[in-house]
Amino acid sequence: MRHTTVGFVSILLCILLNMISAWAEDSPGTSEQQQPVTSIAEIVVTASRTSEQEEHNSTATIQNEDLRNADIKRTEDIGARIPSLNIVQPGDGMAPVYSMRGLVNNTLAFGEQTVQTSVDGIPTGDLLGLTRVFLDVDHIDVVRGAQISACGKHAEAGAINITTCQPTNKFEGEAEADYGNYNTQFYQASLRGPICQDKAFFSVGLYENSHDGYITST
């Protein structure tokens, strides 16, 4: 009787061990849960500065043909063509006084300004850059609105970007002569073209601007 009982208990223990082993093998996620996490998936954050600025700023572009048709020869002349931009030349031959969107520039020629002026991407740095004559200009972009993130601290009100005509494999040039009251004389000419095809180019320009005084000495 004892032998029968011991044999029956042994059989039950074997059945229980087999059931436990089979249940452990069939449990889902056991092997995955035992694997430690060693890295985090890469996170990429993107942003578009241009699209954000376009919501708050407006850009006006004046092409070369428009400059000639409107007789725009200097930077101060564009103030009459661009809304929210006023440029006044004091008449002493020094830097002009201008304002954009209500922000007025520093009247000192070498002081910090509110509008950044650049030629072919190179900032002029001070108001004297605004007294330049437009020579061989392709187009002018006037951006109204803060451009500090793109152009620096001198673009609190906006920016004036002047782009000149770039030389190509074709010889091109233009000339102009004007005469007005007080014996005003204005001459300008430019020429550009290739030095070596597809390798080296040149661009040259010159201008002369003069007029008599407003008062005759006696």
Q: Name the CATH architecture for the domain at 52-164.
A: Beta Complex (2.170)
Q: How many Å apart are CA 131 and CA 75, to the nearest integer?
A: 6
| Mean pLDDT on 6-30 | 58
What count of residues does the chain have?
Answer: 218
pLDDT tens digit sequence for 131-180: 567 788 899 998 888 777 777 777 778 888 889 999 999 999 888 898 98
CATH 2.170.130.10 domain range(s) in the chain: 52-164
35 pLDDT higher than 80 = no
| 132-145 tens-digit pLDDT | 677 888 999 988 88
CA distance 165 to 136: 6
Task: Spell out the alpha helix ranges (H) of 55-165.
Answer: 64-69, 148-151
How does residue 9 score in pLDDT terms, banded at 50, 70 and 90?
low
Q: Tell me the three state secondary structure of residue 109.
A: coil
